[in-house]
Each structure stands twice: as C-alpha cells, then as structure tokens.
Amino acid sequence: MKAARIFGSNDIRIVEVPTPVPGPGEVLCRVVCAGVCGTDHAIYTGEFSFVKNGSIKFPMTPGHEWSGTVAEIGPGVTRFEPDQRVVGDTMVSCGKCYDCLIGQYGNCKAMRAVGTIATWDGAYAEYILMPERHLFHLADEISFVNGAFVEPAATALYSVVLGDVKIGDTVLVLGSGPIGLLAAKLAKLCGASKVAVVGRKEFKLQKALELGVDAAIDTNQMPLEEAVKEVFKDWGVDCVIEASGSTALFKQAVGLVNQGGVVSVVAFYEQKVPDFDIDEFVFGGVKIRGVAGSLGMYKPVLRLMEAGMLDAGPLVTGRYGFDDIPAIMAGMSERNATRIKEIVEMKTASV
Ligand SMILES: [Zn+2]
Ligand SMILES: [Zn+2]
C-alpha cells in the first residue's frame, strides 16, 4: 500500500509499504478521508517536543483524524464487517494489562497514539490497522468529511466537559483554530448562554459567527480584557477554554474567569509558563483542568453528528488528494491566515 511516511525533519515521502494483516481482534480499514492537524506539521518539522524527547521516532506514518471503511477483519472480530463505515480512536491501548482487561483503556500505561506519540502507524496511508475495541461505527448520516472531524471534535468536547460548562453558563474560548471553534460550537450545544471566541485572524473569527457563536473578539482591534467586559458585562466568564497555546493568554485566563470558575486547557505550549501569578489563581479559587485526548467523547460526538446537530463542514478550507501530502506539509505555515482544517481525500468518490 501507499503511505506518506516521515523519515526525518522536513522529509516526508510517499512510499510503498506492506499492507498490514489484521491479527486476532484487529480490523484493517481503508482510509477515505484524513484531516491535517497542526500536530502532523510539528512532527514533520521536527520542532515538536515529543520528537525532541524521543517519544516520536522516525520513520513513522502520521495522521490521527480519519474516517474510512472496513477492508478486512481479523479472527475473533464480532462488531464489524467488511465495507462498514468507521472512525478510529487516537489512542491504542495494549489490550493485555489489568486496566485494559477491566475495560479502563484510558489508564493503560503502554498506550500508543495513532500517528503521534509512541507511534501506532497513522492514517496518511491507504490502510490503517485498528484493534476492534478502538473502532466505532460511522452512521450513514455522517459524511466521511465529518467523520474525519470526530477526533478533533471529541477533543474539543472533552475541553467543554472538563470545563464544567452547564446550561446558562458563559464561556470564553481563546484561540480560533479547529479545536477552539469546535469547542465554542459544542459549548453552545451544552447550553451555554453566551460564548465568545478570541482570535486575531478575521477569516477564522467570521467562521465562529457562522457556527452560531455569539461573539468574536479580535484582539488586533481591542484589548482582551476590555472586549470581555463589553461582551459578558457583569455576568463575567464562568469558563475559559484555552485553545491558543499561548502562555500569555493562559496567564490572562486565570484573571479573566469568574471567582471559582474553570480554565480548561486544551493546547500544547512546548515551554514553561514564566511569572505565573499563583496568588491570583489561589484567591480566585480557579480550577485549572488539563485536557489530554478525547476519552469517552466519541460516542456523544457521533450522536450529535448523526442527529445533524454538529456539522464541521464549514471548517474545511481545503481538499486535497493523497499525493498532495508532501506539498501540504511543506507549505502549511504559509496558509496560516486562511487555514482551518484541510482534508486529504484518499479516493475522490462518495466523500
Ligand atoms: Zn489533531
Ligand atoms: Zn493496557
């Protein structure tokens, strides 16, 4: 099969590799759509801290946001049949340890991540292998393009859930990338009375409004604190979702949230936070939550998509073919102002 593999910094090539053979409990899936993530690019450039600390070793196949169909099932697989539409988890547990055996896959200490840390080969390939326990049915109502958004949407939903967002709450989302925009939309679906997205790129902030978010704050136009007062008035902000990856914004978030509020952090920083005001954090009774992954969130996201309540289609800013992957990676930074989510279509039919 063809796979786009990273061999070293800034070196991604489409090569021929053996098509995996599904072992017991495994399913071989044909990839139909794969989403391009900033993480893929950070691995490609070699700048990602997980490359530097050796958690990601080259060569490897990236791609952790995907949808596809079942090509072949291994012995003992009972929930899937060939040609069924599917999406896969980003994490692959060992399946053998105590936690795995009692179904607590999230606690597995031998976890590998699809297309990233301790790499389980990812979806920038014609086929991807998945253990049955990490595979989900994709309903006919959900397009393959939306299927490729299940993973980022699940991560975004986890940030909303860990942010304790309840009906009537006010939510400020820092960052207008795919995770920020999806988190804002999902906070609205969770019943937030007012949600604002903060960014600096007009095009992305416009998308937030298209998704039904109440306000878009452009920090090129107005200082953040002032804008937050104008939008939320005396109610203030119950939950800040920090999806920008800026340590400056993270520090500011702790001061912006209401007394006893939550700062839900769903970004990588690749650095320490200098001069963090710990007293502000303590006196504010602020809860800071780290959002790693998307544990348990596929089911609600799949249900929302199936019900037509969550459509990530407006976030697609480019559709490409498999052979374009090296060019997508090489030119990614240049498209930052207008890039939200790019989709690679492995085959052009019926996506
Ligand atoms: Zn991603
Ligand atoms: Zn395990």
Do 207 and 267 belong together in one domain? Answer: yes
Task: Answer yes or no: is 299 within a domain.
Answer: no
Helix pair angle (298-306, 150-162), 10° resolution: 110
Single-letter code of the amino acid located at 87: V
Indicate if 278 and 161 belong to the same structural domain. yes
Nearest ligand (C-alpha, residue 178): 1
pLDDT at site 351: 44
At 337 the pLDDT is 86
* Residues 317 and 231 both lie in one domain: no
Q: Would the pLDDT of 350 be above 50?
A: no
Ligand nearest to the CA of 154: 1
Cα of 90 from ligand 1 centre, angstroms: 9
Which residues does 24 contact at the CB level (< 8 Å), separation at least 6?
A: 74, 75, 76
How far away, in angstroms, is 67 Cα from ligand 1 center? Answer: 14
Q: What is the pLDDT of residues 129-165, one digit of tens each?
A: 999 999 999 999 999 999 999 999 999 999 999 999 9
Looking at the structure, do residues 252 and 173 belong to the same domain, yes or no?
Answer: yes
CA 283–ligand 1 middle distance (angstroms): 35
- pLDDT digit string (tens) for 62-112? 999 999 999 999 999 999 999 999 999 999 999 999 999 998 988 899 999
* Same structural domain, 65 and 45: yes
The reply to whether 216 falls in a domain is yes
Is residue 307 in a domain?
A: no
Q: How many domains does the chain have?
A: 2
Q: Pairing between strand 65-73 and 112-113?
A: unpaired
Question: What is the distance in A from the centroid of ligand 1 to the CA of 65?
Answer: 6
Measured on CA atoms in the order 48, 207, 310, 197, is the torsion positive or negative?
A: positive
List the single range of 21-35, 60-74, 91-105, 176-190 with lowest mean pLDDT: 91-105
| Tens digit of each residue's pLDDT (9 = 90 or more) over 238-267 | 999 999 999 999 999 999 999 999 999 999
Is 147 within 8 Å of 30 (Cβ atoms)? no
Q: How far apart are the first and last CA of the chain?
A: 21
Among 261, 217, 255, 214, residue whose Cα is nearest residue 239: 261
349 pLDDT above the threshold of 50: no
139: which 2 tokens? 């309903």
pLDDT higher than threshold 70 for residue 211: yes
297 is a domain residue: no
pLDDT surpassing 80 at residue 208: yes
pLDDT tens readout for residues 301-344: 999 999 999 999 999 999 999 999 999 999 999 998 899 999 99
CA of 38 to the centre of ligand 1 (A): 7
- The DSSP line for 280-319 is HHHHTT-EEEE--S-TT-HHHHHHHHHTTS---GGGEEEE
Question: Which band of pLDDT confidence, cut at 50, 70 and 90, is reported for residue 11?
Answer: very high
Q: Are 58 and 7 contacting, i.e. CB atoms less than 8 angstroms apart?
A: yes
Computed over every residue of the chain, the mean pLDDT equals 96
Domain range enclosing 90? 2-149+312-345
Side chain identity, residue 130: M
**pLDDT average, residue stretch 275-298:** 95
Distances (CA, A) of 338 to 150, 182, 207, 222: 22, 17, 11, 21
Q: From the CA of 206, how far away is ligand 2's center (Å)? A: 43
Q: Calculate how far, in angstroms, residue 25's C-alpha sits from the geometric centre of ligand 2.
A: 15
For position 22, which CATH number holds? 3.90.180.10
Q: How far is the CA of 153 from the centre of ligand 1 (A)?
A: 10
- pLDDT greater than 80 at residue 180: yes
Ligand at shortest distance from the CA of 62: 1
Check whether 172 has a pLDDT greater than 70.
yes
The whole-number pLDDT of residue 256 equals 97
User: Residue 293: which pLDDT band, with cuts at 50, 70 and 90?
Assistant: confident
Angle at the Cα of 297 from the Cα atoms of 271 and 121, rounded to 5 degrees: 65
Tell me what pLDDT residue 295 has. Answer: 81
Q: How far is the CA of 268 from the centre of ligand 2 (A)?
A: 25
Q: What is the mean pLDDT of residues 185-211?
A: 97
Query: What's the mean pLDDT in 1-17?
Result: 97
Residues 264 and 316 both lie in one domain? no
Residue 264, strand partner residues: 241, 289
Percent of the chain beyond pLDDT 90? Answer: 94
Same domain as 274, residue 223: yes
**Does residue 302 lie in a domain region?**
no
**Contact (Cβ atoms closer than 8 angstroms) between residue 68 and residue 128:** yes
Give the Å distance between the CA of 246 and the centre of ligand 2. 33
Ligand found nearest the CA of 134: 2
Task: Please check whether residues 43 and 142 belong to one and the same domain.
Answer: yes
Task: Compute how many other C-beta atoms are within 10 angstroms of the C-beta atom of residue 225.
Answer: 11
Mean pLDDT to the nearest integer, 44-67: 96
- Cα-to-centroid distance, 152 and ligand 1 (Å): 6
In angstroms, rounded to a whole number, what is the distance separating the alpha carbons of residues 240 and 27? 39
Taking the centre of ligand 2 as the mean of its atom positions, its distance from the CA of residue 110, in whole angstroms, is 6
What's 191's domain CATH number?
3.40.50.720
According to the model, what pLDDT value does residue 106 have? 85
Give 184's contacts (C-beta < 8 A, 6+ positions apart): 171, 173, 195, 196, 197, 208, 211, 213, 241
* Nearest ligand atom owner, CA of 102: 2
What angle (nearest 5°) sits at the alpha carbon of residue 185, between those of residues 348 and 39? 55
pLDDT for the residue 10: 97
Say if residue 85 is in the same domain as residue 140: yes
